[in-house]
Chains A and B, each alone.
Chain A
């Protein structure tokens, strides 16, 4: 217990003394995960939309596929991409292994099914009349899509937040694809893994705190937007 208190105190002083290395790691984490999310959102939204509103062969299969992909361990996704991106792999020519781009690819792969899956549920729950009303009032397909997106924005925002939470705290794929290189591909989760293995609990806890505070802030923000947050609103 004493050790934990001590480590937490050290963690706080590390955070507030503006430890450069620590904040650099935080910066890399956010940069990679935010970009991964931004890249993943538009295609995921379109696909979720197609799944919710389109009628095509394989639609049900795709829905099942993306739900399944949610439970694939991140290490497996990391390993698959590692094999693809390794020099010996089919995409080895790109020389992407152990770069931030590789980490981003991993996180996009992780975020995508979640965005599609939760996004699809949100859009499915949307009133079909929203789409039809938009269309009958002369909206283009894109505009109607954006309108419906806006109508179910809270559900979609939840999808985005859940996905962000998944990728920013994910260690397996980032470790394999980024290689945990200092100043380059060391992000919060891989740094926590490393510091913990070295017995440097203060660093680990400090980084954990950053994640925790961020998760809290995001959720408070979401609830703020959602307003009342109880049934009957």
Chain B
């Protein structure tokens, strides 16, 4: 008898929980924004720094799903998130052109750096162009670790190989299929070269034996864009929330916040929102 009561009590509890979380689903339409983004923005600590300011001001709450840029965009395409913040300009353009997103807003940029062992076995330190450096690495068959995960960084790396007219393959070229931090770790362990975004690098540089061996080339420019997922395609998406977040990110306040974010006393991201774009749209919407 007691067992029976216990059973039914447990069933009730679990049922009510399932229901309560089902009810919680009703809320995202208003106050919860789901954003997919690249690991670099989350793991560098930028979003943890920015989002509370936005949340406090507007009453929205932002749930961040950090994955590679490719997957982040795919989540937007599938309508599983409301807004995408990524750094893969070509793919982002396609995303908007295909009607998955309304418009790409530039938010900020940082740049990529080529990391490698201090000894620099391939001798790229003195080279001016990134493509040249890559060619040298391939030529000397120095180990190079690629993200290999279809992320923005990976796409950038492949583009550089293309510019250098080299098809990277062989024992020296390894695809990790993992996040930036992990790849920097692996490169450190294996004395390998790799391409990294500066934000992540600054966050982990104290733990890594690697050094920046090449930087500053125009080719290494790494712009971030933000896009609301199209409401035409997914009518019940939290479009207002997504637009509010975008508007805040490109607003003076948001841009100033991005500029003030520092890791190890270094600025990670340079805001570059096109102010005309933002004001043309509308002023930031607030949650009633």
Contacts and interface: CB of A to CB of B under 8 A. Distances in A.
Whether A and B touch (Cβ < 8 Å) is answered with yes
Interface of A: 35, 38-39, 41-42, 86-88, 92, 94-101, 104, 142, 146, 150, 179-182, 184, 194, 196-199
A4 B107 CA distance: 39
Q: Which of B4, B14, B25, B43 has the most CB of A within 10 A?
A: B14
Interface of B: 3-4, 7, 10-11, 13-14, 17-18, 21-22, 24-25, 28, 34, 39, 43, 48, 63-66, 78-81, 178-179, 181-182, 184-185, 203-204, 207-208, 234, 236
B13 A38 contact: yes
B37 to A, nearest CB: 11
A33 to B, nearest CB: 12
B132 to A, nearest CB: 30
Given A38-B14, A146-B3, A97 B179 contact: no
17 contacts: A39-B18, A41-B10, A42-B7, A42-B10, A87-B79, A88-B79, A92-B79, A98-B34, A99-B21, A100-B21, A142-B4, A146-B3, A179-B65, A182-B48, A198-B43, A199-B181, A199-B207
Contacts of A197: 39, 43, 178-179, 181-182, 185
A95 B25 contact: yes
A101 B78 contact: no
Contacts of A38: 10, 13-14
A101 B181 contact: no
Q: Is the interface of A mostly helix, strand, loop or mixed?
A: helix
A101 B21 contact: yes
A181 B207 contact: no
Q: Which of B22, B80, B81, B184 has the most CB of A within 10 A?
A: B80
A94 B25 contact: yes
Q: Is the interface of B mostly helix, strand, loop or mixed?
A: helix
Contacts of B184: 199
A42 B11 contact: yes
A199 B202 CA distance: 13
Given A95-B25, A99-B24, A180-B65, A199 B185 contact: yes
Nearest to A3: B207
Contact of A181 (B14, B21, B64, B182): B64
A95 B28 contact: yes
A104 B15 CA distance: 12
**Nearest 7 A-B pairs (CB), nearest first?**
A87-B79, A179-B65, A197-B182, A181-B63, A101-B21, A39-B14, A198-B181
B204 A198 contact: yes
A95 B182 CA distance: 31
B28 to A, nearest CB: 7
A94 B25 CA distance: 8
A199 B25 contact: no
Contacts of B65: 98, 179-181
Given A194-B43, A198-B181, 16 more contacts: A39-B18, A41-B10, A42-B10, A87-B78, A88-B79, A95-B28, A98-B81, A99-B25, A101-B18, A180-B65, A184-B63, A197-B39, A197-B185, A198-B203, A199-B184, A199-B208
A86 B181 CA distance: 28
A35 B12 CA distance: 11
A197 B66 CA distance: 12
Nearest to A92: B79
Contacts of A98: 34, 63, 65, 80-81
Contacts of B203: 198
B184 to A, nearest CB: 8
